Structure formats: C-alpha cells, structure tokens
Amino acid sequence: MRAPLLTFKRARALRRKMTLPEAILWRRIRRGQLAGLQFRRQHPIGPYILDFFCAASRVALEIDGAAHDSEVQFEHDQRRDAWLASEGIQVLRVAAAEILRDESLDHVLSHIAQVAAPSTAFGGPPPPQAGEEP
C-alpha cells in the first residue's frame, strides 16, 4: 500500500536522525550484510513508518525503546501490528537495550536472520509451471 506524501516526508526526516540503537542495527544489516537480506530503513507503508523492512520476506523490524513501555503506546503498537499483519507483514520487535549490549547483539542478529530468511520448509521453490524455464 502506498503511503501518503506526508508519511514519505516524515520517513525522510527520520532517516537523517536515527536513534543510537537504530544506527547500530543499520550498520550491521545494511547492504545485505545479514544473510544476504536487503533491508530498507524508515520505510513508509500506509500510514506508518517501519524502522526497518525486508521486502523479500515481508518482515518489519521495530526497535522498542523506553517510549514503548507506556500503556497508550502499547495499545498503539497493537493496532499498528494488526494492520501490518492484515497487509501480510510480520513485525519483529527488538528491545533497544538488546541492541546496545554487545553480548546480545549477535543473538539479535541471528534471530532476525532466522525470522527473515526465505522459507525452505518444502526444500526450496516450487517447480516451474508447464512451459516455463527452470
């Protein structure tokens, strides 16, 4: 779903002033560094701006700092996650504190790669249709 023009402008501004946890994570996942996955930062979709988005796997990464601890913000996050799920986007929430701790960052990256990696449950992609090249 295409985002409104104002959402695009807000996303552009957010890219210029990322939080420290966002900047640390972006440095580790940009340019396919994490299992070859391509992420976009501050990606607008519908009325929302996703911290990070992997279009190939339709996974959104949301970095939750202290602001997400309030009841009002929790309810907003629930509505937002439900809307994104209705659009086929899985939301993976990561605590900002986990990114800031060196000893847990590798675990966070491993979990992201596991969630966002293409599914191989059936041994790979489906076979080509009749008349298609493999």
Q: What is the pLDDT of residues 29-84, one digit of tens each?
A: 999 899 999 999 999 998 999 999 999 999 999 998 766 667 888 898 999 999 99
Whether 35 and 113 have beta carbons less than 8 Å apart is answered as: yes
What's the rounded Cα separation, in Å, for the pair 92 and 74? Answer: 14
What's the rounded Cα separation, in Å, for the pair 130 and 134? Answer: 10
123 CB contacts (<8 Å, ≥6 apart)? Answer: none
Whether 45 and 104 have beta carbons less than 8 Å apart is answered as: no
Identify the pLDDT of residue 131: 65
Q: Among 3.80.30.20, 3.40.640.10, 3.40.960.10, 3.90.180.10, what is the CATH number of 5-116?
A: 3.40.960.10
pLDDT digit string, tens, across residues 76-131: 899 999 999 999 999 999 999 999 998 899 999 999 999 998 765 555 555 666 66
